[in-house]
Structure 1
Amino acid sequence: MQNITFNRRTFASLAALGAAAVAVPALRAQPKLEKSKIAIAVGGKAAFYYLPLTISEQLGYFKAEGLDVEISDFSGGARALQAVVGGSADVCSGAFEHTINLQSKNQFFQAFVLQGRAPQIALGISTKAMPNYKTLADLKGKKIGVSAPGSSTNMVANLVLSRAGLKASDVSYIGVGTAAGALAALRSGQIDAMSNTDPVMTMLEQKGDVKIVSDTRTLKGTLDVFGGSMPAACLYASTEFIQKNPNTCQALANAIVHGLKWLQTAGPSDIIKTVPESYLLGDRALYLASFNKVREAIALDGLVPDDGPKTALKALASFDNTVKADKIDLAKTYTNEFARRAKEKFKA
């Protein structure tokens, strides 16, 4: 009898030890990715607005998560959004408010990691085309450059103009991209004003080409324009994609939060060494001046702030009649579940 008890006990102990030995590697192993090859669409990758995406790509953080990421760059966020809605890209690196716009059209997309906590968009008046500019009302009938019609640069311009009593139809919007083409469009007189991101706006400002009349490149400026915190660049995908590929979305969030953590302590020379040379637009000093201006607008930990979606909805509904605030379920526009895990992993 004693032997049997001893054997049973020994067997139970050995079985428990065996189970523990199997469990430990399972806990440490990365969960299997449902999809390792991912297509990301972005509108204006060279802009500081998307710097966390570039950093995560250039430093190999996507690869470290087992991802093979292909990034397609479009002229503006609205074009990148079309790629994701049309199915030629899996994920969009774009403006948070697109998730609200899409829901108003009965299409459900969710942001799952934040890259920017301020839109980093400035509206500037051409000093050459409008030397006698006094108020925003002077823009009636004028041509305003934006990265692409329907993009966040367009949205910020609409919001600022609406507060001055102007409708979107009172001006003409022209897509000029977010790089050298935007500089050329303003300097050659093709447009009278421009709503765009950095480094373009700082370059124009420092050379005296524009007079800045509205600025969301800082947290204070964002508060002045929007009246609250305004989530900006993020990774978003269809709710269906996120539900089917949770481990893949976690890996993407991890890579971005890893990049955000690196950016918290990166010096100007680190940035210069990491981004592609073409991003500098031929002027290192001005590029770095721009970076210092927008640095605080970069997200810290990938989490969408609690009050942010409300601010975004209020802003959109104030000038876009197709967005009905009472019909939008903000809880469906974002999830912090992936960013929270990534924040814990990297202590961001």
Structure 2
Amino acid sequence: MITRRQWLQASGVFAAALALGPRSAFAQAARTVKIGVGLKSINSSVINLLIGEALGYNAEEGFTVQGLALGGNANVQVATDKGDVDIGIGVPSYALPILAKGQWGNALWFYQYTYPYKWDVAVAPGSAVKSYADLKGRNIGVSDFGGTEYPVTRNVLKSLGIDPDNDVKWTAVGAGVPAGVALQRGAIDALAYYDTGFGIIEGAGIPFELVQRPGNLPMIGGQFLMGLRQRVQAERGLFVGFGRSAAKASHFILARPAAGAKAFLKLYPETAPRGSSEEQAVKSVLAAISRRIKLYEPPYQGAAMGSIRPDEFTTEAKMNNWAIDDVSKIYTNDLIGEINAFDVEKVREQARSYA
């Protein structure tokens, strides 16, 4: 159940976010689709959800997209449930506890736009921490306690027999470059973060080493597109169209990442480092997304892009002792066939020729 405090918080963030949005070449499209993301500001971690605007994919589907940074996953869930955004990003670490309490609303996940596993732990060069086992007794930094890296890394430590509440200390150090600076200055012993976050730190020239991942990492923590169930049913074409735009954009970026970076910067030039040339700006985006783009396609043989595996949910639920009898309430694969009904090679050719 969403509390009044949560709703007021989300409403405030949402109101501030209304001023945000890309510079669109398709401002006269039939309707505007608002997508809420759990970020404090738009960045390239959601590049494959946004560049369809610059590439014409959204116009082909009859809409234009406005990206809204709502500040956190809870705010996105509230905005989606209230209908203040058309599409939101759903994350299991926030959603599954709600489902376990029997308080899940009417949101429905219909496309998985990033697959597991995207998190790592970094240390300063020369650190004595060489494995996750060495994290016992250490101070681990996270961007904030609402970020996905916090619950996911806790789960991994728990699977290794490390008590995440008593065996380690957690410190919120901020996102992006500030997180890297905290590691560099020794304010924390290690930094748990996700792929695009490490890319931003790397792009800033801050050195770090990734701790070797343990074997048999749980396939948990994917990220999903969601809408209200009744709207997905009543406006099926809209949600298929958005999923198709995201799938096309994902193939576009995979075919030529630099072209995807250019398209993103056309929409969001303010995300480029201050004073950078076009070449430097493109490089900064590529540094941020180089790890993430490998996760656009499902790691399961024969699976269609965007398709959802329920065992990701049941695995995470078991790790946290969340009693969930039926995960089917939260997702559907019913739109995936239509979403992927396009010429992939045509998209790849567009990427190769994009200027």
Letter in 1 for 2:69: D
Q: Separation in 2 of the partners of 1:275 and 1:70? A: 13
Deviations 1:156-190 (A, max 9, x none): 21122112322332344444554334333433444
Distance 1:288 1:100, change over 3 A: same
Q: Which has the higher contact order (CA 8 A, sep 6+)?
A: 1
Letter in 1 for 2:233: Q
Among residues 149, 152, 160, which one is paired with 1:156 in the alignment? 152
Q: Separation in 1 of the partners of 2:307 and 2:72? A: 22
Distance 1:224 1:37, change over 3 A: same
Among residues 29, 40, 43, which one is paired with 2:38 in the alignment? 43
SS across alignment from 2:232: helix
Among residues 243, 247, 262, which one is paired with 1:253 in the alignment? 243
Q: Separation in 1 of the partners of 2:296 and 2:73? A: 18
Distance 1:47 1:168, change over 3 A: farther
Distance 1:346 1:113, change over 3 A: farther
Q: Check conservation: 1:42, 1:80, Cα contact below 8 A.
A: yes
Map 1:37-116; keep pairs closer than 5 Å.
Answer: 37-44=32-39, 49-85=45-81, 87-96=83-92, 98-105=94-101, 106-108=103-105, 109-116=107-114
Say yes or no: does 1:298 pair with 2:296: yes
Deviates more, 1:103-112 or 1:70-79: 70-79
Map of 1:120 onto structure 2 = 118
Deviations 1:115-145 (A, max 9, x none): 12233222223448xx333553553454433
Distance 1:137 1:119, change over 3 A: closer
Among residues 219, 226, 237, which one is paired with 1:236 in the alignment? 226
Letter in 2 for 1:269: A
- CA shift, 1:48, in A, is 5.6
Deviations 1:194-242 (A, max 9, x none): 2222333246569674332255xxxxx8x8311x5x5722211233442
Map of 2:262 onto structure 1 = 273
Letter in 1 for 2:242: L
Say yes or no: does 1:309 pair with 2:310: yes
Residue-pair matches, total: 297
Map of 2:329 onto structure 1 = 332
Q: Separation in 2 of the partners of 1:340 and 1:57? A: 22
Distance 1:195 1:84, change over 3 A: farther
Instruction: Show structure 2 runs of 5+ residues with no match.
Output: 1-29, 299-303, 346-355
Q: Check conservation: 2:129, 2:211, Cα contact below 8 A.
A: no
Q: Separation in 1 of the partners of 2:143 and 2:118? A: 13
Map of 2:9 onto structure 1 = none
Deviations 1:4-37 (A, max 9, x none): xxxxxxxxxxxxxxxxxxxxxxxxxxxxxxx943
Q: TM-score normalised to the size of structure 2?
A: 0.69
Q: Separation in 2 of the partners of 1:88 and 1:143? A: 38
Say yes or no: does 1:179 pair with 2:173: no
Deviations 1:41-76 (A, max 9, x none): 112476664231132244343343222432111444
Letter in 2 for 1:111: W
Q: Separation in 1 of the partners of 2:65 and 2:233? A: 19
Larger Rg: 1
Q: Name the structure with the higher helix share.
A: 1
Q: TM-score normalised to the size of structure 1?
A: 0.70
